[in-house]
Structure 1
Amino acid sequence: MENMLEKVKFKGFIWPIVIGLIIWFTTGIRPSGVSVQAWHMLALFVGTIIGCITQPLSIAGVTLIGFTLTVGLGLSDMKTGLTAFSNSAAWLIAMAFMLSRGVIKTGLGRRIALYFVRMFGKRTLGLAYSIMGIDLVTSPAIPSNTARAGGVVYPIIESLARTFGSKTEDGTQRKMGAYLVFTEFHANLLTSALFLTAMAPNLVTAQLASTLKVNLTWMGWLEAASVPILICLAVVPWIIYKMYPPEIKETPNAKDWANKELAEMGKMKLSEKIMGSVFILTLVLWMLSSIIGMDATFVAFLAISILLITGVLSVNDLVTEKGAWTVLIWLSILVFMAGKLTEFGFITWMSKSIASGLHGVSWAVMLAILAIVLFYSHYLFASATAHVSAMYGPFLAVAISAGAPAQMSAMLLAMITAVMASTTHYANGPASILAGSGYVKQNDWWKMNFVLGIFYLLVIGIVGPLWMKVIGLW
């Protein structure tokens, strides 16, 4: 049998290699105050990030090559390098991926979704809030916002839309489907901003913040994000309803449809009951982890152990959970490489240089500029992971150097990184799925996202700091 080679997009290597080599071989003209090690590490880090954008391989493959070069070129020894994979945040998100597998495998996620539709589905606006509720309830333990959007919520939206005669193939998208799809996209963004474990890039921000001595805990994240994000969650479905109204306003049949689907599912199975109990236990322990001194990553391991012992998940489920192992690789390596930049003094040099160059500018103005640039620069990225890895740490370092309160700045910029996907149809995984469904025209997607992006910047940028002042973060 002929050996088959895996597909590699070799053209995707061109820009990472060219730019990495340019930086590497301009060591002789590097700025004063930057060591040779720091400059070489910058070359590898920038090359890796560009590779995450051009994706000749998956992000895990690109970062693995970056790790190999870091060790092979003498910027770390192998023993130290392997400590990257002891990163507790990476293991937390990997275990959370496995937890989410249980939610989907048992059918609990679908049952929760149908309950929401049954309770709030009399009107299309109510359906939109029920869609948002589904994402909100499942987001703390499904760290893949793509899995939530594509695996849990979108199938419900598509079934509902077709039930009411709203289809992509016959031009009836605006009856209902377009409105629900676009609302789900924004609900997904906002729930991703609300919980530390709601999307993988959040853990990148938390780890990058920790390299600057800023600790973002699960409960601390929720407390800081709660007011600005809940305001957005309460208002955004209504804004979209006014901006992009569905043709069908009343949906009296939605409740009957949900009841029919629930009847077909039958009574709640034992596996669902166990999964639901473990889900609640995990959330409670995450909330209390900083109070009772229980490590959040240990809580995730405890939850998976219970699911294994009770038979809800099998070892094969864990082994085949590709998303978990992929995240473990790229998150561990990116945080390790970013940590090397800090260790070699590059981040400190850069933040001080920018801060001194903007001498006289108040920290509040500086932070506002950083937040706006961070948000709108996402037009250049198709990956939140690559964007966060490249810009969050340096931007936070600059803000802190300018005198901005560290904890507040870290959370403000973290919330921005979650909602910055309100830009393009390629901004993140959920955008690719939902925009690619064909329900919303591309020009409508861009125009409405631009309006909502301004709304998010205003709410997060104004209400966020005020709320964090109230709770004593600065």
Structure 2
Amino acid sequence: MTTVTSVAAADLALKRRTALARAATLLVVVSIWLVPVPEGLTLPAWRLFALFIGAIFSVIVGALPILTASILSVSLAVLSGTLTPAKAYAGFANPTILLIVVAFLVARAVVSCGLGARLGHLVVSVFGRSTLGLSYSIFVVDGLIAPAFPSSTARGGVLYPLVYSLAVAAGAKPGEGGRPRLGAFLMFSGMASLSLSSALWFTAMAGNPLGAEIAQTFGVNINFGTWLLAASVPTIAAMALLPLLLYRLTSPDVSATPGAPAAARAALAALGPFGRNEKIVTATFVGMVALWAAAGSLGLDSTAVAFLGLGILLATRVLTPGDIAKEGDVLATFIWFAVLYTLSGQLNELGFMAYLGLRFAGALGGLPWVAVYLILAVAYVLLHYLFVSQTAHILALFGVFMDVGVKLGVPAMPLAFLLLFASDFFSVITPQGSAANLLFVDSGYLPQKDAYRLGAIATAFCLVVYLVVGTPWLLLLAP
């Protein structure tokens, strides 16, 4: 009887918290919606901001699942006349979003054929004496392959099956009783490694060269070598320290695993030689990686490469249409990310992002350049809560913030590098902060609320590292 009463009380408390969270979300949206439109903005831009903030806020406070919040936001945007249907639904045809969906399906093939387990046991056999060692192995592997991948989403498609297999091989299963915190630790390590490896290598994220072109207009010349030199010290420091912080934050269910390497070697022996499906998946995966790496120089579309790989797996019956039909989570991810991607892009197109940057920057006149430097860095990072694309963030705000900083006396070279590094490491600040995050967030190990919490802390930590370690290094390198 006591157990039944406790369950009922907990259920009632949850319903009350949800009701309060929904009321708070409604209050936020209505308040912004009814406030007079600030000078310099249009009514559609202001109303879309209200809906976008409402969607993000509702997820953070636990009022609505992200799929529900996204669907409500886009439907209200269209029905209120804020967006036209054509613009509201444009994200569903976006190549990057389609790449995410296909990467999910290919990753499932890596796991289902047994190749993922083999890779997982292999890594555990080398690094598996501790869960912290597994995290560092993820950072090392990603750091080594990153220069060949201008698409962090494509690189996530390579890394995710390995991380998922590591979690399974280490005994982690989604849900209670299956070392879920260990799984969360490894999954967020995968997300974080993608963000920092993108900051380390000039060619590891499509927005890096784009930002370099903009920086050149301010007299800052950036190429592969100068980027690597500037990024090396702060990024390696962040890579060395961040796994330790994530370990403390997630408190994995198991820490020391001295017997894991031997058990992994035994499991590898039990698996025997590669089976037919493993060989096909390996060949397909290697081919996809090679084509992704050469996509820029050969003019290939990364999404088409992913579809080709999926087609081969279907043609060889490694995957079947029935397998794809079971992946309902992929459809949910496709919907909510397409919606948020569109809303974020429309905020930028309607001038809201540029307005924010200019208004904020206008308040900084008269401050010492060091203060301006710090404020611009913090504001630039926080504004990524409003973006679903790192490249879009760079296009919308990097030039604006550079212009303001340089005019107020901030040295151009350190400011340019700091903002561009931030454009990489702030990708984990929200689950939708980078397309690659979705693979890890939807693994079943990392709840949305935990992803927001860990993302905020990890981003703040990286910002501190790049400010404290990176700024003196950049000033030393500055001409």
Q: TM-score range by the shorter chain?
A: 0.5 to 0.7
Equivalent residue, structure 1, for 2:404: 402
Q: Please tell me whether the aligned partners of residues 193 and 229 of structure 1 are also in contact (alpha carbons under 8 angstroms).
A: no
Aligned to 2:170: 157
Instruction: Give the 5 Å matches for 1:34-53.
Output: 34-53=41-60
Residues 2-47 of structure 1: CA deviation (Å, up to 9, x unaligned): xxxxx996654322322211222223xx321122222222222222
The residue aligned with 2:358 is: 352
Q: Relative to 1, partners in 2 of residues 1:332 and 1:213: Cα closer, same or farther, differing over 3 Å?
A: farther
Q: 1:277 — aligned with what?
A: 283
Partner of 2:23: 14
Q: CA RMSD in A?
A: 5.4
- For residue 70 of structure 1, report the CA deviation from its aligned partner: 1.0
For 1:310, the equivalent position in structure 2 comes to: 316
2:110: which partner in 1? 103
In the alignment, residue 187 of structure 1 is paired with which amino acid? S
Q: Deviation of residue 349 (structure 1)?
A: 1.8
Structure 1 stretches of 5 or more lacking a match?
1-6, 160-167, 197-201, 215-219, 379-384, 422-427, 436-441
Shift of 1:48: 2.1
Task: Name the residue aligned to 1:33.
Answer: 40
Could you tell me how far apart the structure 1 residues matched to 2:472 and 2:291 are?
Answer: 28
263, 268, 276: which is aligned to 2:274? 268
Match of 2:69 in 1: 62
CA contact (8 A) 1:109 1:152 kept: yes
Aligned 8 A contact 2:49 2:347 in 1: yes
Alignment of 1:179-328 (within 5 A): 184=186, 187-194=189-196, 227=232, 229=235, 232-233=238-239, 251=258, 253-328=259-334
SS in 1 for 2:365: coil
Which one-letter code corresponds to 1:157 in the other structure? A
Letter in 1 for 2:365: H
**Relative to structure 1, is the Cα distance of residues 401 and 22 closer, same or farther in structure 2, using a 3 angstrom cutoff?**
farther
- SS of the residue 1:311 aligns to: coil
C-alpha change, 1:360 and 1:185, in structure 2 (3 Å) is farther
Q: Where does structure 2 lack aligned partners over 5 or more consecutive residues?
A: 1-14, 147-151, 199-203, 216-223, 407-411, 431-439
Residue 54 of structure 1: how far off its partner (Å): 3.6
Q: Normalising by structure 1, what TM-score?
A: 0.67
Name the amino acid aligned to 1:19.
Answer: V
The whole-number CA distance in structure 2 between the counterparts of 1:34 and 1:111 is 55
Structure 2 letter corresponding to 1:15: A
Match of 1:78 in 2: 85
Encode CA deviations 1:136-160: one digit per residue, 9 max, x unaligned.
789976848997698433333348x
For 1:82 and 1:420, how far apart are their aligned partners in 2? 25
Taking structure 1 as reference, are residues 339 and 419 closer, same or farther at Cα in structure 2, changes over 3 Å only?
closer
C-alpha separation between the residues in 2 aligned to 1:329 and 1:195? Answer: 28
**Structure 1 residues 298 and 48: alpha-carbon distance in aligned structure 2, compared to 1, 3 A threshold:** same
Range that drifts further, 401-410 or 37-46:
401-410
Q: How far did 1:359 drift?
A: 2.7
- Greater shift, 342-351 or 329-338, is seen at 342-351
Q: Is the aligned partner of 1:333 residue 2:339? A: yes
Does structure 2 conserve the Cα–Cα contact (< 8 Å) formed by 1:97 and 1:143?
no
CA shift for structure 1 position 286: 2.0
Equivalent position of 1:24 in the other structure: 33
**For the Cα contact (< 8 Å) 2:418–2:466, is it kept in 1?**
no
Map of 2:120 onto structure 1: 113
- Residues 182/470 of structure 1: CA separation in 2 closer, same or farther (3 Å cut): farther
Would the alpha carbon gap of residues 65 and 235 (structure 1) be closer, same or farther in structure 2, given more than 3 Å must change?
Answer: closer
Q: Secondary structure of 1:402's partner? A: helix
What one-letter code is carried by the residue in structure 1 that aligns with 2:29? G
The answer as to whether partners of 1:388 and 1:417 remain within 8 angstroms in 2 is: no
Q: Matches of 1:286 and 1:464 in 2, distance apart?
A: 31
| 2: CA distance, partners of 1:256 / 1:47 | 50
Q: Is the 8 A contact 1:354 1:398 kept in 2?
A: no
Is contact 2:109-2:318 (8 Å) kept?
yes
Query: In the superposition, relative to structure 1, how do residues 467 and 143 fare at CA in structure 2: closer, same or farther (>3 Å)?
Result: farther
Whichever residue aligns with residue 96 of structure 1, its letter is A
Deviations 1:219-247 (A, max 9, x none): x9xx8798455554456568999999x99
1:367/1:409 contact within 8 Å kept:
no
Q: CA deviation at 1:261?
A: 1.1
Structure 2: distance between partners of 1:190 and 1:236: 8
Residue pair 2:113, 2:278 contacting (<8 A) in 1 also: yes
- Cα 1:355–1:288 shift into 2, 3 Å: same
Paired residue secondary structure (2:323): helix
Q: CA offsets per residue over residues 415-442 of structure 1, 9 Å max, x none?
A: 3324558xxxxxx95999489xxxxxx9
Q: What is the distance in 2 between the residues matched to 1:267 and 1:129?
A: 28
Structure 1 Cα separation of the partners of residues 134 and 288 of structure 2: 28
Deviations 1:40-97 (A, max 9, x none): 2222222222233244442122111111111111122223433231112211111111
Contact 1:97 1:142 in 2 (8 A): no
Query: Whole-Å Cα distance in 2 between the matches of residues 314 and 469 of structure 1?
Result: 56
Q: How many residues align?
A: 414
Structure 2 distance, partners of 1:390, 1:430, is 18
**Distance change in 2, residues 1:181/1:102 (3 Å):** closer
